[in-house]
Each structure stands twice: as structure tokens, then as C-alpha cells.
Structure 1
Amino acid sequence: MASAKQSLTIELALLGLLRRQPMHPYELFQQLQRKDTLGFIWQVKQSHLYALLDRLEADGYLSHQLETQGSRPPRKVLSLTPAGESRFVAWVTTPVAHGRDMRLEFLAKFYFARLEGSSTVVQLLERQLACCRQWLADNEERIARLAPDSFERLVLRYRTGQLQATIHWLEACWREIALQDEIEQN
């Protein structure tokens, strides 16, 4: 089940890459290898990437045109369909549903939200902060109901630390984006 969730996130990130410009599958693979983009988050095998692209096309999120290359076989150039555009736009500003999704899914969303502009990234950060703060409050309520020596309480204390660190990082990102906006406006 976890790999299906990860695959879905990767698929949506692929929509984001194609939203910037149409590309052939190997160009997408090269983009995903770059450490200044999503390659810093994921490692995707070329064969797996091609299978994901086929699935996105079958689902109606991508279309393709064949581009002639002289004497070489034509290559497939992929582009986003209106359904793919709509799916990506909804995904990029929706906060992740679980703290464990911060490492892959949220970072992918954050990458693309930054490309979309400051209003999109601020919207994502504010929504994710609200979720994290609620998770923290819920976690603290659970801790308060437990016996002081319970193992569950210790585990929840660990989660509290993770959530506090995540909130701290999200707030720092939000401040940095706000500062950049202020500098650009002056």
C-alpha cells in the first residue's frame, strides 16, 4: 500500500514537470536525475518512469504527439491534458494527510508550489501548518489521557518532537517566502 501511495505522488509530480513544458520521456528522466529538482527527493528507475507515464496517459492526464527525427524513429512528446492540469493544481495546494508524508509528498508539493509563485507556496504552507498544529494538539490530548509510564506515551512524545520540528521548519519557510516577497516589492 505504501508503494502505491508513493507512486501516486510521483505521478502527480510528473504532471508538474510537464506543466512547465511538453517533454519526451527521456527528458523527464533526466529532469528527475537532477539534484536541484526532484532528484534530491526521489530516485526513479527509467523503466518505472515509463510505466508511470503510460498509466498517466491511460488515465487521461497526458497526451502525446509523435515528433519526427529524420532517419531515426519518431519520439513521443508528452503534454498535460486539461484533466492533468486540473489534477495537478488541486494536488499542489492540498496539505498532506499524515506526518509521514512530509518527507516525500510535501517536499514535492513545496518544490512545485515555489515554481507556481509566492501566493501558491504561502497557501500550501499555511494549510500544512494548520494541519500540523491540529496533529500536535490531537497528539497532546492523547498523551494527557495515558498513564505516565506507558510505552504509548513515550512514542507519542517522540511524535510530538517530530511535529514541533516540522512546524518550526514550516514557519521558517513561510517567513523566508514573506521576506523574499517584501524584498521584491521594494
Structure 2
Amino acid sequence: MSPLTRTPLTIEHALLGFLLNGAMHGYDIHRQMMNPQGLGQVWQVKQSQLYALLNRLEQEGFVTTALEAQDSRPPRKMFSLTETGWQTFLQWTSAPVPHGRDMRLDFIVKLYFARQISQNAAEKLIEMQRETCQLWQMDRGDNSPGTFEWLISEFRRGQIAAMLAWLDQCQRFILHCDSEGA
């Protein structure tokens, strides 16, 4: 069983995403991941953890490596996506998150990379996530007002409403970025 099936860590999928445009050295991936204009706002990852995850992805067949010669320095290990890694990444990126608690990290990272794939991929992800959130909204149960269950249900309703409003903002952002050529 692969690590992406066994433990679906967002960071592993993100590492695959950084390799979409070609081979990269682990240090370059780390620099991009920590960029404060991108995913650096979402999480912080130690370089040693990143290399351990890249090695794990290589062992599981999601990435492959090659040594690249450098003039006066030792060769460096370059990571590239395999076909399995590419397909796994595309499946992950195109699926909505299944739980509201996953919006803060998983969905944001998926949207980050979906935008890199295409405006259409980002729009589809947003729409599928909106549909998923609407299903959560309908699955509130029959809680009588004034009960503790009702109070929790109202909290969840508010969270889902905020998520839907934020997804609307995401949609406007995607459309605006496309019209600006960003």
C-alpha cells in the first residue's frame, strides 16, 4: 500500500505538486514551499522532514531521482514525478475535501496547485467543494432549539456558511487573476 493511500498527508501531495514543471532539488522545493507569498503561509516544514518525505515518495514509486553534476561541488539529487506520482497528484487535486476541518489546510493547498494546472481546474475544484459543503449543510439532523445538540448544530451551520462565502471569494479571485493574466 502506498503512503498516499495509507496516510494521505497533504504535504506529500504538495511535494508532488512542486515537481509538476520538472525536476527539482530538495533545497529548491523547500524554498518554494516556505515562500511567504505561497504555501509558506499555510505551514512550516523542516528541511530534514522534507527530505525524509521525498525519500519515502521515491521508495513508493511516486518520484524518481537522478544525480546532477555541479562544477566544484558534489552532485545533487534531482527529484522528478513518475507517471504514478502525476496521476496520484491529479486525483488528489481534483477532489473536494471530505470534512470541514480539512478546509484550512488540504483545500487551500489543493487550490494553490489547481491554479497552476489551469483556471478550469481551479474553478472545478471550487465548485465541487461548494457542492460538498452544501451537503454538509443539509446533514444537520433534527435538533430541538435550546438543546446542546442544537447549539453545536448552529455552530456548524455558521462554519459551513462561512466556508461557502469564502469559496465565493475564491471563485472571484480565480476569475480576477485570469483577467489580470496572473
Question: What's the TM-score once normalised by structure 1's chain length?
Answer: 0.88
Choose the corresponding residue for 2:160, options 138, 160, 163: 163
Pairing 1:98-117 to 2, within 5 Å after superposition: 98-117=99-118
Residue 22 of structure 1 corresponds to 23
Deviates most, 20-29 or 167-176:
167-176
Residue type at the aligned position of 1:149: G
Pairing 1:1-186 to 2, within 5 Å after superposition: 8-139=9-140, 142=141, 145-178=142-175, 181=178, 183=179
How big is the alpha-carbon RMSD for the aligned residues of Structure 1 and Structure 2? Answer: 1.8
* Cα deviation, residue 148, structure 1: 2.2
Cα shift readout 1:9-56 (whole Å, capped 9, x = no counterpart)? 100011001112211111111111111121111100111111110111
Shift of the 77–118 alpha-carbon distance from structure 1 to 2, 3 Å rule, reads: same
* Cα deviation, residue 180, structure 1: 5.1
* Cα deviation, residue 150, structure 1: 1.8
Cα shift readout 1:106-144 (whole Å, capped 9, x = no counterpart)? 0000101111111101110110000001101112xx1xx
Report the 3-state secondary structure (helix = DSSP H, G, I; strand = E; otherwise coil) of the residue aligned with 1:69. Answer: coil
Output the CA distance in 2 between the equivalents of 1:43 and 1:55: 19
Residue type at the aligned position of 2:115: R
Output the CA distance in 2 between the equivalents of 1:68 and 1:108: 32
Number of residue pairs matched? 176
Q: Is the Cα–Cα contact under 8 Å of residues 143 and 153 in structure 2 kept in the other structure?
A: no
Identity across matched positions, percent:
46
Gaps (5+ residues) in structure 2?
1-5
* Cα deviation, residue 59, structure 1: 0.8
Gaps (5+ residues) in structure 1?
none
Output the CA distance in 2 between the equivalents of 1:179 and 1:161: 27
